[in-house]
Structure 1
Amino acid sequence: MSRRRRIGVAGVVAIALVATAAGCSKGEDQVPSIGYAIDNVLTTYNANTVDGAASGARQAFARVLPGLSYLGPEGRALADGDVGTVTAQPGDGLSLLYKVNPNAVYSDGVPVTCDDLVLAWAAGSGRFTGPDQAPLFHAASRAGYSDIDRVECRPGTKDATVVFRPGRAFAEWRALFGATELMPAHVAARAAGVPDVVTALQGEDTAAAARVAAFWNTGWNLTEGELDPAVFPSAGPYRAQSYSAEDGLVLVANDKWWGNRPATDRIVVWPKGVDLEEKMASGDVDVLDVGAGSIDGFDPGKGFSTVHEPSRSSEQLVLATGGVLGSADARRALASCVPRQQLFDTLGHPGYAPQSGLGSGVLNSRIVQADTLLYPPVAAVAGDRYLRADTGAASAALSASGQGPITVRVGYLAPDARRAATVAAIAAACSPAGITVQDNGSADFTPSALAAGKVDAVLGGTASAQGAAGADSLVPPAYSLAEGEGSNFGQFRNGRVTEIAGKLAVETGYDRQLGLATEAENILWSEMPSIPLFNEPRTTAFADGMHAAVPNPTAAGAGWNMDRWILLR
Structure 2
Amino acid sequence: MVACAPAPEPEEDLSTLDHFGYALSTPLRTTNAASLVGASTSAQLLSVRIFPSVYVAGPSGQMIPNTDLVSTQVLPGANRQVIYTLSEDTVWSDGTPITCTDYLLNYKAGVMSTLFESYLPLTEQIERMSCEPGAKRFTVVFKEDAGARWRQLFSPGTVLPAHAIAEKAGLSTAALHDALQAEDRDQLEEVARIWREDFNLDSFDPALQLSSGPYRVESVGESGEVTLVANERYFGDQPVLSRLVVWPGEVDKAALAAEGAIQIADADNYDWVNRDDPMNQLRVEDLEGILTESLVLGSSGVFYGQPSRQAFTACVDQRAVAAASSAVAGRELPVVGTHVVSHFDPVARQLAGVVEPKLGVDTEQASALWGTTVRIGYQGPDERMAAMVESIRVSCEAAGITVVDASAEGSTMADLARLGTGPWGEELYLEGSLDAVLRPVDPLVEYGGVIAEDGNVAALWEAEEQAWEEARIIPLAAQPRTFAIDGDVGNVVEYTGSTGIGWNMDRWRYEAPITEEEEE
Normalising by the smaller structure, the TM-score range is: 0.7 to 0.9
Q: By how many angstroms is 1:461 displaced?
A: 1.8
CA separation of 1:156 and 1:332: change in aligned 2, threshold 3 A: closer
Structure-2 residue corresponding to 1:374:
347
Q: Which residue of 2 is the match for residue 172 of structure 1?
A: 149
For 2:94 and 2:192, the matched residues in 1 are separated by 22
Aligned equivalents of 2:117, 2:146: Cα separation in 1 = 24
Aligned position for 1:541: 484
Q: CA deviation at 1:63?
A: 0.9
TM-score (normalised: structure 1): 0.76
Letter in 2 for 1:149: R
Give the equivalent residue in structure 2 for 1:486.
none
Counterpart in the other structure of 2:423: none
* Residue aligning to 2:335: 362
Equivalents in 2 of 1:382, 1:90: separation in Å? 32
Ranges in structure 2 where 5+ consecutive residues have no aligned partner:
1-9, 418-430, 514-520
| Counterpart position of 2:320 | 342
Name the stretch that deviates more: 451-460 or 533-542.
451-460
- Give the aligned partner of residue 456 of structure 1: 435
Which runs of structure 2 are paired with 1:407-486 in the superposition (5 Å)? 407-431=373-397, 434-442=400-408, 445-451=411-417, 452-462=431-441, 470=442, 473=444, 476-479=445-448
Q: CA deviation at 1:281?
A: 1.6
Distance 2:195 2:273 in 1: 40
User: Contact between 1:118 and 1:201, CA under 8 Å: does it hold in 2?
Assistant: yes
SS state of the match for residue 122, structure 2? Answer: coil
Contact 2:49 2:503 in 1 (8 A): yes
Q: Equivalents in 2 of 1:90, 1:313: separation in Å?
A: 30
Aligned to 1:104: 90
- 1:397: how far off? 4.1
AA matched with 1:306: V
Q: Output the aligned Cα RMSD.
A: 3.2
Residues 1:137 and 2:116 aligned together:
yes
Q: Tell me, what secondary structure is at the counterpart of 1:306?
A: strand
- Write the distance in 2 (CA, Å) between the matches of 1:142 and 1:331: 19
Match of 1:52 among 38, 45, 63: 38
Indicate conservation of the 8 Å contact 2:406/2:434, yes or no.
yes
Where 1:102 maps in the other structure, the secondary structure is coil
Question: In 2 relative to 1, CA 256–310 (structure 1 residues): closer, same or farther, beyond 3 Å?
Answer: same
Shift of 1:148: 4.0
Which residue of 1 is the match for residue 221 of structure 2?
244
CA distance in 1, matches of 2:353, 2:161: 45
Quote the offset at 1:334 in angstroms: 5.0
- The number of residues matched between the two structures is 482
> Distance in 2 between the 1:247 and 1:374 partners?
41
In structure 2, what is the equivalent of residue 318 of structure 1? 296
CA–CA distance in structure 1, aligned partners of residues 297 and 479 of structure 2: 18
- Percent identical: 31
- 308-317 vs 535-544, which deviates more? 308-317
Question: Could you tell me which residue of structure 2 aligns to residue 356 of structure 1?
Answer: none
Note the alpha carbon deviations across 1:406-437, whole angstroms, 9 max, x for none.
Answer: 54332111111111222233334444554443
Corresponding residue SS for 1:461 = strand
Mapped to 1, the partners of 2:342 and 2:461 lie a distance apart of 15
- Please state whether the residue corresponding to 2:389 is helix, strand or coil: helix
Paired residues of 1:238 and 1:252 also in contact (CA < 8 A): yes
Distance 1:319 1:283, change over 3 A: same
Deviation at 1:240, TM superposition (A): 0.4
Q: Secondary structure of the equivalent of 1:343?
A: helix
Are 1:83 and 2:101 matched, yes or no? no
User: Pick from 177, 195, 200: which aligns with 1:216?
Assistant: 195
Listed one character per residue, the Cα deviations across residues 134-171 of structure 1 (whole Å, up to 9, x for unaligned) are 74332202414651422233x334x2131415625511
Counterpart amino acid of 1:121? Y
Provide the secondary structure at the position in 2 that maps to 1:223. helix
1:442–1:101 CA distance, 2 compared to 1 (3 A): same
User: What is the alpha-carbon distance in structure 2 between the residues aligned to residue 66 and residue 231 of structure 1?
Assistant: 16
**Correspondences of 1:501-512 after superposition (within 5 Å):** 501=449, 504-505=450-451, 507=453, 510-512=456-458
CA distance in 2, matches of 1:275, 1:338: 34
Deviations 1:92-128 (A, max 9, x none): 743333222222222212122222222222222x1x5
SS in 2 for 1:552: coil
Partner of 2:58: 72
CA–CA separation in structure 1 for the residues paired with 2:128 and 2:311: 43
CA contact (8 A) 2:376 2:436 kept: yes
C-alpha contact (below 8 Å) 1:39/1:56 kept by paired residues: no
Partner of 1:280: 257
Q: 1:493 maps to what in 2? A: none
The code of the aligned residue for 1:538 comes to R
In structure 1, how many angstroms separate the alpha carbons of the residues matched to 2:227 and 2:33? 17
1:206, distance to aligned residue in structure 2 (A):
4.8
The 1:246–1:544 alpha-carbon spacing in structure 2 relative to 1, beyond 3 Å, is same
CA distance in 2, matches of 1:42, 1:252: 17
Q: Is structure 2 residue 494 aligned with structure 1 residue 554? A: no
The more displaced of 340-349 and 176-185 is: 340-349
* Residue identity opposite 2:295 in structure 1: L
Determine if contact 1:412/1:458 at 8 Å carries over to the other structure. Answer: yes
Contact 2:121 2:446 in 1 (8 A): no
- CA distance 1:192–1:328, change in 2 (3 Å): closer
Give, as a single letter, the amino acid of the residue that structure 1 aligns with 2:54: L
TM-score for both structures, normalised by structure 2? 0.82
